[in-house]
Amino acid sequence: MDFSELDLSGHGSVTANDRAVRLGPSLSGTNLERAGDYNQRVVLQVIRRNPDITRNEIAAMTNLTSPTIANITGRLFEAELIVDAGRRFGGRGQPATRLRINPEGCFSIGLNIDRDHVTLVSLDLAGTVRSRFTRQVAFAMPEDVVRIVGEGMEEIRRAGVIRIDRVLGVGVALPDDLGQVDLPHRPPNYDRWGDVDLRKLLVEVAPWSIHTDNDAAAAAIGEAQFGDGHDHVSFFYILVSAGLGGGVVIDGAYYRGANARSGEIGFLPLAADPTRVLQDVVSLSALSTRLEAAGLVLAGIDPTQPFPIAFAPHVDAWVDCASDELVPALRAVNCLVNPAVVLVGGRLPDDVLDQLAAASYRKLVAAAHGMPTLAPIARASLSRDAPAVGAAILPFLDRILPSDAILIKG
């Protein structure tokens, strides 16, 4: 396979709804070309998840024949998506060649647009974040996003952290109904986001195909592909952002629901006040409001840095309140979804996410009352900038990683 077959020049747009249709139940058949493409994606995924694997081991793992594996790995070498990691000695016969993913094989760009920030990352095929560019902007307008993305792309080009000619596409993660949900300090003209065509908006600063998804869905997909999904094939993801989102991963696949709105945990009504919803309490907006009431300003969050000491009692109080309100939702998640784990991510310092996860689990256990199963709660391994990283994975999923979508004949 020549790398040019990946068609890097496209300016198309791939939405979550498109992906849901392609991944949904279908009676459509497939053809040999699509089956071959799928096998190739599976082999690449096996190599990505099992560094230094041999061809014989791939054949045993995939149930494909040795000649088929030889043909596929030959094409992957030609496309520079895998590399020879040397020989494995010690066994019988000729030393076997070890295969490893080539991080330089291809790249993608991930963009997260939220009510309090815009973040741009670049990602290599191994899942390593090559660059991160973020701007703390309250309720950024479309023209602000274009400017920020332009600045971020210029920095990526100047730093030379990725090969621009091997970028597969741009993934964009943003909350559903970005301009519609009423959060504190939302400007009246923020509803302009409802009419924005992201492909047209970004074409001048990011001239690749655009792959869009909900921010919580992108974060969960990222965790499934490059994070804790290696250890837990079924999990529920909670994203604490300006609002509150959730995502459902079942048997390694993201489950969207009938209207692509599964996991909307933030809109569950509060037990004590049904006129309010969970994200009114469990969100960065709620934390910011609490700090403002104490005369403190949450000007911006760097997830790599702890909060100032003066914030500590107010953050602790928010964690206590947020974990109280999460318990009824978590009981429902455990009973209805039966996840192996509940993962918590978002743009908060690690210690605060750990606090929230621990407090929520402790209170959930106390309120279990005979529940048949109870999943542990932990901070997601890709918690920092999770939607942006997850967004960057979307082009990989659509172009080179396994998906049931490609088996459906168009």
Q: Using CB atoms within 10 A of its CB, is residue 169 exposed (0-12), middle (13-18) or buried (19+)?
A: buried
User: What's the pLDDT at 24?
Assistant: 45
C-alpha 371/C-alpha 287 separation (Å) is: 31
C-alpha 67/C-alpha 43 separation (Å) is: 13
C-alpha 330/C-alpha 45 separation (Å) is: 32
User: What's the pLDDT at 2?
Assistant: 53
User: What's the pLDDT at 306?
Assistant: 86
C-alpha 224/C-alpha 221 separation (Å) is: 5
The beta strand positions in 89-142, using DSSP E, are: 96-101, 107-113, 118-124, 129-135
Number of other residues whose CB lies within 10 A of the CB of residue 280: 21
**Would you state the structure tokens that stand for residue 166, as one six-digit string?**
């091997």
For the chain, give every residue range classified as CATH 1.10.10.10: 31-102
Q: Quick one: fold of 219-384?
A: Nucleotidyltransferase; domain 5 (3.30.420)
User: What's the pLDDT at 316?
Assistant: 97
* C-alpha distance from residue 7 to each of 33, 169, 170, 209 (Å): 16, 10, 14, 10
**Which superfamily does CATH assign the domain made up of 107-214+388-396 to?**
ATPase, nucleotide binding domain (3.30.420.40)
User: What's the pLDDT at 89?
Assistant: 57
User: What's the pLDDT at 181?
Assistant: 82
| CATH 3.20.190.10, domain 31-102, yes or no | no
For the chain, give every residue range classified as CATH 3.30.420.40: 107-214+388-396, 219-384
What are the residue ranges in the chain where pLDDT is below 70?
1-12, 14-31, 88-94, 404-410
Return the closest-CA partner of residue 237 out of 259, 213, 270, 258: 213
User: What's the pLDDT at 356?
Assistant: 98
User: What's the pLDDT at 352?
Assistant: 95
User: What's the pLDDT at 382?
Assistant: 81
* C-alpha distance from residue 298 to each of 310, 311, 399 (Å): 11, 9, 39
